[in-house]
Structure 1
Amino acid sequence: MTTTRKVTSLDVAKRAGVSRSAVSRVFTPGASVSERTASKVREAASALGYRPNVLARAMLTGKSKIIGLVVAYLDNHFYPTVLELLSEALEREGYHVLVFMAAHSTDDVEDVVSQILDYQVDGLILASVSLSSDLADRCRASGVPVVLFNRKLEAEGELAVVSDNRMGGRLAAEHLISLGRNRIGHIAGWEGASTQRDREAGFMEGLRTAGLGLFAREVGDYRLPRAKEAARRMFDTPDRPDAVFVANDYMAFGVMDVLRSELGLRVPEDVALIGFDDVPSAAWPAYGLTTVKQDAEAMVSTTVDALLSEIGGTEVLPPAPLPVTLVRRITA
């Protein structure tokens, strides 16, 4: 069995009649090279089937043009949308995204981030995962900027891009109260998340302002099976809430399925329901979910701007929480 020899930049240089350094400049974004030389090199590369070795170039330049993205889960429809937007935005700036999956636990995240640093990434985006101060210090020592997406740690100098989750929770409470509901429950997400804490804090503020307390509370951990179990515990009883705020849309879909299909309850006649995120499927007629909208495009734009500024050596102030809006549909 014969093995085809890998085409090198030297092969391209010989065919194009240029120096090896000229080939390198053609495939280095922003490098100076004449149109005539670039045309000859690209034609030779195409004929030979040559592809530049990005990692080898990173060793020479110290820049890989790769951004590491760590996500906790992709089953929540908010994150595939965000991943697509982040990839498109970074590619427009000449970067590529390397995606790693991690669980909620800090230990798992730290293992993954340690692996990513071996790839000589230019920056890190952590989407809904946490990072210890020790590992954050290691990233800084390695010259790798880190931006937290949809999560904050309240650490000094951290770059965290979040929506105004507290206001979002308050909007949810005010809307349910405006419908005349007074037995209002909450199905929480993962309690280790800043998003959950802020959303619930705002929700409770809204209830207290109206002179109400929380009628019932369960935890869904941002997981569909857990959210369904929470809904059964909360609503399979005569003394049930007449409204519920679910901490994200993904869980809200499962809650709605339990209410309608298992318990025979009408939404919103028997139970008004509101979620958080405004993922695309929230607008589907089968759900018509009233929800608090996070502006994914604004969050992505803010994240990319902050990360690239840090990569470029510009000190960035922590971004302010981004505005949220209530999107009313048929469930509340």
Structure 2
Amino acid sequence: MAARVTAQMVAERAGVSQSAVSRVFTPGASASSRTVEKVRKAAEELGYRPNVLARAMVSGRSRMIGLVVAYLDNHFFPDVLERLSNALQEQGYHVLVFMASPTGNVDNVLEEIMGYQVDGIIMASVAMSSDIALRCQARGVPVVLFNRSQDIDGLTWVTSDNVNGARQAGEFLVAGGHERLGYIAGWDGASTQRDREAGFRNALADAGRRIFAREVGDFHSERTQDAALRMFDVPADKRPDGVFVANDHMATIVMDVLRFDLGLRVPEDVSVVGYDDAPPAAWPAYNLTTVRQRVNLMVEETVGALLEAIETPKDAKPRHVAMDAPLIVRGSARVPEGWTT
């Protein structure tokens, strides 16, 4: 087995000090362009790779971020994962991805993350208990919630404005002349689900209307199929003529059930509106009218808040951000006469 290449060996090859090698491979440290060139050339020739964990033990910073995601079936989350990872890597941080149940306890996952000495944690569509939040704060590990909001002191969260976004969906469907509006809910433990349903109900109430039929898909593929069948596999006068679905993942499943299982036309027989504007929403197969989560801005806000808490903790203040969420009109729902976007 070949001997491990050390920083001292690189320093000798490059004709610089070992501390100069360390500065070249430490994000944010200063070194002259000439030194950087010599060190990187020597490192490449020797096949040297810096020991990130050893450097973390010396500096007290791992430059690693724990990213907890609930599930990847929804195309919204792989997109979010890629954007968060790229944004953090641009700032010199490495990302460790951990999976957690969207409806389960995340205590064990967070304990595992802590074992990696991460500098911070982003929880994407995963809730946390007040106890866990306090434990993270006590250890000096900042946490930011992405696509969730929680009323916990000192906790930063970034979401879209789910209430107003869903209100727009409701107003759009009401203006389209629908008589029987249904709602397919996600998991009720999620703040996104509760806020979206509240916004939709508010829009209907303002028009003197109520939800005609409600089913629960739980943000789960099979349960959403079952929910759609319960809602629509009934006589024509008993089924909704328009439906708002709590996210795009479920909305595309509902569209498939309507068209391929039940032989109904979208939007002629049933209008469908979703939430997220995940990539499949724009595919011609779905052409889904939906509420857009402004992912780029949400990621920018999330990363900015987390790095501020890591790098200047005394100055960092908790942020509560609800990003504007516009309605994107496509072809899956009847467009009201004279409607302008």
TM-score of the two chains, using structure 2 as the length reference: 0.94
8 Å Cα contact 1:182/1:212 also seen in 2: no
Q: Deviations over 1:172-192 (max 9, x none)?
A: 111111110021110001110
SS across alignment from 2:131? helix
Equivalent residue number for residue 252 of structure 1: 251
CA distance in 2, matches of 1:315, 1:240: 51
Q: Answer yes or no: is the 8 Å Cα contact 2:216–2:227 preserved in 1.
A: yes
Per-residue CA deviation, residues 185-238 of structure 1 (Å, 9 max, x unaligned), is: 100011100000000001111111111111110000111111111000000001
Q: What is aligned with 1:297?
A: 296
Counterpart-to-counterpart distance in 1, 2:88 and 2:21: 24
Residue 154 (structure 1) shift: 1.3
- Give yes or no for contact 2:103–2:189 (8 Å, CA) kept in 1: no
Distance 2:103 2:185 in 1: 18
Deviation of residue 319 (structure 1)?
2.9
1:236 is matched with which residue?
Answer: 233
- Select 1:101's aligned residue among 88, 92, 99: 99
SS at match of 2:98: strand
2-structure distance, mates of 1:320, 1:74: 24
Q: What is the aligned partner in structure 1 of residue 150 from structure 2? A: 153
Aligned with 1:324: secondary structure? coil
How big is the shift at 1:273?
Answer: 0.7
Q: CA deviation at 1:20?
A: 1.9
**1:308 alignment partner, SS class:** helix
Correspondence for 1:281: 280
CA distance in 2, matches of 1:293, 1:33: 44
Shift of residue 23 of structure 1?
A: 1.4
* 1:265 has 2:264 as partner: yes
| Aligned equivalents of 2:34, 2:163: Cα separation in 1 | 57
* Alpha carbons 1:106, 1:131 under 8 Å: kept: no
Query: Is the contact between residue 249 and residue 276 of structure 1 (CA under 8 Å) also seen in structure 2?
Result: yes
SS in 2 for 1:218: strand
**1:214 paired to 2:211:** yes
- Which of residues 190, 194, 197 in structure 1 aligns to 2:194? 197
Q: Structure 2: how far apart are the matches of 1:106 and 1:316?
A: 29
Structure 1 unmatched runs, 5+: none
Q: Are 1:87 and 2:85 counterparts?
A: yes
Letter in structure 1 aligned against 2:327: L
Match of 2:65 in 1: 67
The answer on whether the counterparts of 2:182 and 2:214 sit within 8 Å (CA) in structure 1 is yes
Of the structure 1 ranges 316-325 and 71-80, higher mean CA displacement relative to structure 2 is found in 316-325
2:101 aligned counterpart, secondary structure: coil
Rounded to whole Å, the distance in 2 between the matches of 1:106 and 1:229 is: 22
Within 5 Å, which residues of 2 pair with 1:35-46?
35-46=33-44
CA distance in 2, matches of 1:296, 1:118: 30
1:155-176 per-residue CA deviation (whole Å, 9 max, x = no partner) reads 1221010111011111111111
Q: Deviations over 1:117-149 (max 9, x none)?
A: 111111100000011112111111221110000
Match of 1:144 in 2: 141
Change (3 A) 1:105 1:250: closer
1:311 matched to 2:310? yes
Cα distance in 1 between the residues matched to 2:242 and 2:31: 64
Q: Is 1:6 aligned to 2:1, yes or no?
A: no
Aligned with 2:26 (options 25, 28, 36): 28
Q: Which secondary structure state, in structure 2, belongs to the residue aligned with residue 5 of structure 1?
A: coil
Alignment partner, residue 328 of structure 1 = 329
Alpha-carbon contact 1:295-1:324 (below 8 Å) kept: yes
Deviations 1:73-118 (A, max 9, x none): 11111111111111121122111211111112442x1111111111
Q: Partner of 1:261: helix, strand, or coil?
A: helix
Q: Distance in 2 between matches of 1:36 and 1:327?
A: 51
Q: Partner of 1:320: helix, strand, or coil? A: strand
SS in 2 for 1:276: strand
Contact map agreement 2:122 2:146 (CA 8 A) in 1? yes
Q: Is the 8 A contact 1:13 1:20 kept in 2?
A: yes
Letter in 2 for 1:57: R
- Conserved? CA contact 1:244–1:273, under 8 Å: yes
Paired residues in the alignment total: 329
3-state DSSP of counterpart to 2:321: coil
Q: Which residue of 1 aligns with 2:185?
A: 188
Q: Percent identity?
A: 60
